[in-house]
Amino acid sequence: MSSSAIPQTDGKPTAGRMAAVKEMAAFQRILFEVEREFVRTATTLIYRVGDIELKYLLCQHVWESAGHARFLKERGREMSGFGKGDSVREAFRELFEEAVVCEDPDKAVAEFYRVIKPAILAAYKEYIQLTHHLADWPSKNLVEDFIHEEMRHAEEMEPYLKGVESTESESALKAAVAALGGFLGQDPKIPLPGSFTWQHRVRGFKHPETCNRGKYPVCSSVFSEDPGETPIVRQWLEDPKTDARVIRLMVYVWLMMELDAVDYLATLFHDTPDAPFDLHYDLARHLWDESRHSAFGFRQLPKLGVDLNTLEHSLDLYNILVQMTPPERYAMMTMEFEAGSFPTKAKVMDRVRELNDFEADTLLAFDRNDEQNHVRYGHRWLPEIMKLFGEERPVEEFVDATRERFEVMAKEFGGKVSHSLSADQRLTGNKILKIAGVTQ
């Protein structure tokens, strides 16, 4: 192992009896920091891209990268020299912030997957070359698994990168990685050109006012009391006279629209750079769960005769919540929307069971189990997010005030998205009756 490749904090090679352990622990620390920054910043892609399958894939990759970071942290704690806390060195943070500010969502994805991810993969491969196959077997075994996942990530993303041309900002990001000599400092450092400008210093990142749903039609909400207006008719959900086949279709629409939660939850990562990593880890799991729940509906509705091109996507929740603070967003999500959905979803589950549809029963059971965990996350992490933003009110008082503020914000920012499709074209409650073969 070359001493010149070892990360150093005082300009001197590591010495002493535990030198070999400390050297590899220092590398693991770098890998942990890089993965946690990927989780924090790649999430900004999710609500900016329009392809639904790409949103789901990004959520999966973020969750798997969070798993890499967690295992590196756990293994690092076993080794002398890993360090305490979850902080990230400024040079890495600046690099990831530079990737975030690309304004074109497709080109931003390309920058992450043509520059950042290959640099992470190269760092993992370098670690395998530097460490001892037997002495550091636990780390080597983990890193080999991570390499396989990184290679799979590249393969899964390749179809979405076809036709996306390289840009000057992509070249600049490559230059920034080269200036580091790679994440583990394994390559010669190439100084940045004199004309180089850190774009994130010029223009900071800001969440878009609305999320991107690509080719799909949009509206303000899929819920109403009017069966000629929206696909989910509130009173039908709990009416015992409503046919179970209608309930099943409406709940799949409801599940698919958990894409709302995917988009606004994804905004929290970038807004909380100093959060404990464990908070981001649970947020990443929460995000992945919501993407799977949305996919339940996305996959099942066509099987039941619904043309997804007629189903408008609701944008109100993102449009309202992006105007609120991160602790307010998280409070509404976990302590209001999810906690408040249990009574209605319990009745819905009972009705769907009448159909003896094992797949539907399974999907709804996992949705409920996941949502219960999400509320637990809320109880655990809302106080921490409040502290990050200097919010000193008791949690219950804060949540009550946030509910009231949401109502105010909804009047200003909600209900602004007109139907993309006419009543004759879009999926409505009345159309669901016909699809289900039911006369209401």
Residues 310-365 pLDDT 10s: 999 999 999 999 999 999 999 999 999 999 898 999 999 999 999 999 999 999 99
Residue 107 CA to residue 253 CA, distance in Å, equals: 31
At which of 170, 202, 234 does a domain end?
Answer: 202
Residue 301 CA to residue 435 CA, distance in Å, equals: 11
Token pair of 5 as six digits: 């490749």
The answer on 285 and 405 residing in a single domain is yes
**Residue 128, domain CATH:** 1.20.1260.10
Residue ranges in the chain modelled with pLDDT below 50: 1-13
Query: What local confidence, expressed as pLDDT, does residue 3 receive?
Result: 36
Query: What local confidence, expressed as pLDDT, does residue 4 receive?
Result: 36
Residue 403 lies inside a defined structural domain of this protein: yes
Residue 387 CA to residue 227 CA, distance in Å, equals: 44
137-161 vs 117-130: helix crossing angle, rounded to 10:
160
The answer on 384 and 257 residing in a single domain is yes
| Residue 190 CA to its chain's centroid (Å) | 33
The answer on 223 and 178 residing in a single domain is no
Query: What is the rounded radius of gyration, in angstroms, for the C-alpha atoms of the chain?
Result: 24
Query: What local confidence, expressed as pLDDT, does residue 17 receive?
Result: 61
Write out the E strands in 28-69: none
Find, among 87, 81, 232, 62, the residue nearest to 149 by Cα: 62
As for how many domains the chain has, the answer is: 2
Which residues pair with residue 425 across a beta bridge?
none
Residue 156 CA to residue 298 CA, distance in Å, equals: 19
* Domain span including residue 131: 17-202
- Tell me the pLDDT tens digit for each residue of 391-411: 999 999 999 999 999 999 999
Task: Calculate the dihedral angle through the C-alpha atoms of 313, 315, 316, 321, rounding to the nearest 10 degrees.
Answer: 140
Q: Provide the greatest CA pair distance for the chain.
A: 81
Q: What SS3 class is residue 185? A: coil
First CA to last CA across the chain, in angstroms? 75
The answer on 222 and 198 residing in a single domain is no
Residue 11 lies inside a defined structural domain of this protein: no
**Buried-state track 228-267, b at ≥16 Cβ within 10 A, e below 16:** ebbbbbeebbeeeebbbbbbbbbbbbbbbbbbbbbbbbbb
The answer on 232 and 182 residing in a single domain is no
Token pair of 346 as six digits: 């319990």
The answer on 264 and 395 residing in a single domain is yes
Is residue 371 within 8 Å of residue 341, measured between CB atoms? yes
Find, among 402, 281, 259, 258, the residue nearest to 330 by Cα: 402
pTM of the model: 0.94
Residue 327 phi, psi (nearest 5):
-65, -35
Query: What local confidence, expressed as pLDDT, does residue 375 receive?
Result: 95
Q: What SS3 class is residue 162? A: coil
Query: What local confidence, expressed as pLDDT, does residue 440 receive?
Result: 64
The answer on 391 and 283 residing in a single domain is yes
Q: Which amino acid is at 4?
A: S
The answer on 190 and 237 residing in a single domain is no
Residue 187 lies inside a defined structural domain of this protein: yes
The answer on 184 and 225 residing in a single domain is no
Residue 207 lies inside a defined structural domain of this protein: no
Find, among 41, 64, 100, 79, the residue nearest to 281 by Cα: 64
Residue 4 lies inside a defined structural domain of this protein: no
Residue 10 lies inside a defined structural domain of this protein: no
At which of 139, 172, 202 does a domain end?
Answer: 202
Query: What local confidence, expressed as pLDDT, does residue 15 receive?
Result: 53
Residue 1 lies inside a defined structural domain of this protein: no
The answer on 244 and 177 residing in a single domain is no
What does the DSSP 8-state code read for residue 334?
A: I
At which of 147, 176, 202 does a domain end?
Answer: 202
The answer on 432 and 322 residing in a single domain is yes
Residue 89 lies inside a defined structural domain of this protein: yes
The answer on 49 and 164 residing in a single domain is yes
